């Protein structure tokens, strides 16, 4: 990496840590359902960004780190799920984690958790981290139309769930 690019990367990361780190940890925790895993994953994503920066310039480090961290946790959960299924076959009970993002209404958190991973991820990025559809699409490597569809489906599901909670809660 050339010295000018290395300095820009360092300054961008310093700015991210000073201004956006807590929100990104909270967002990743909400996406994945586990704040402690989110802290670790965000830190791993930062280290990865420094060790092997993306090939293309990153306009929004917070969005990039959120996507990378939540994807790492998702992959980790997939491995853990496979292990849990294997252990269940031999009679070992699986564990459950229930960490939530502080400050959000518990019904909203519950409704978000019921969404499929992709919808939950784009909701958190768009509505809680205020990322644009374009930024999210670039970060996830999909079209803007895909993001808009995910957001629409998520809004529909959330509205139905939260209306149901209002009438029953």
pLDDT surpasses 80 at 169: no
Residue 53 has what pLDDT?
75
| Rounded-to-integer distance, Cα 102 and Cα 60, Å | 24
Which contacts qualify for 41-48: CB closer than 8 Å, 24 or more apart? 41/69, 41/70, 41/72, 41/73, 41/76, 42/66, 42/69, 44/69, 44/72, 45/69, 45/72, 46/13, 46/16, 46/17
| CATH code, residues 3-168 | 1.10.10.10
For 16-53, the pLDDT digits (tens) are 999 999 999 999 988 888 888 899 999 999 988 888 87
Q: Are 89 and 128 in contact (CB under 8 A)?
A: no
Higher-confidence residue of 57 and 124: namely 124
Residue 145 has what pLDDT?
95
Residue 98 has what pLDDT?
35
Give me the residue spans of the domains in the chain. 3-168
Q: Are 32 and 100 in contact (CB under 8 A)?
A: no
| Rounded-to-integer distance, Cα 117 and Cα 115, Å | 6
Of the pLDDT bands very low, low, confident and very high (cuts 50, 70, 90), residue 153 is: very high
Residue 39 has what pLDDT?
92
For 59-116, the pLDDT digits (tens) are 888 989 999 999 888 888 777 777 766 656 665 444 433 333 555 677 888 888 889 9
Give the pTM: 0.58
Instruction: Write down the residue that tokens 């000018």 correspond to.
Output: 4
């Amino acid at each position: 990496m050339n010295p000018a690019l290395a300095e820009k990367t360092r300054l961008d990361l310093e700015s991210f840590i000073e201004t956006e780190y807590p929100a990104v940890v909270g967002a990743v925790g909400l996406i994945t359902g586990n704040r402690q895993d989110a802290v670790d994953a965000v830190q791993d994503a930062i280290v990865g960004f420094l060790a092997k920066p993306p090939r293309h310039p990153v306009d929004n480090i917070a969005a990039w780190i959120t996507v990378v961290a939540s994807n790492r946790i998702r992959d980790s959960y997939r491995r853990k799920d496979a292990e849990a299924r294997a252990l269940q076959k031999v009679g070992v009970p699986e564990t459950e984690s229930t960490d939530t993002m502080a400050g959000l209404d518990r019904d909203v958190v519950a409704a978000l958790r019921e969404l499929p991973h992709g919808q939950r991820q784009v909701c958190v990025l768009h509505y809680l981290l205020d990322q644009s559809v374009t930024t999210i699409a670039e970060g996830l490597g999909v079209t803007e139309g895909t993001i808009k569809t995910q957001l629409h489906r998520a809004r529909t599901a959330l509205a139905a769930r939260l209306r149901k909670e209002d009438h029953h809660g």
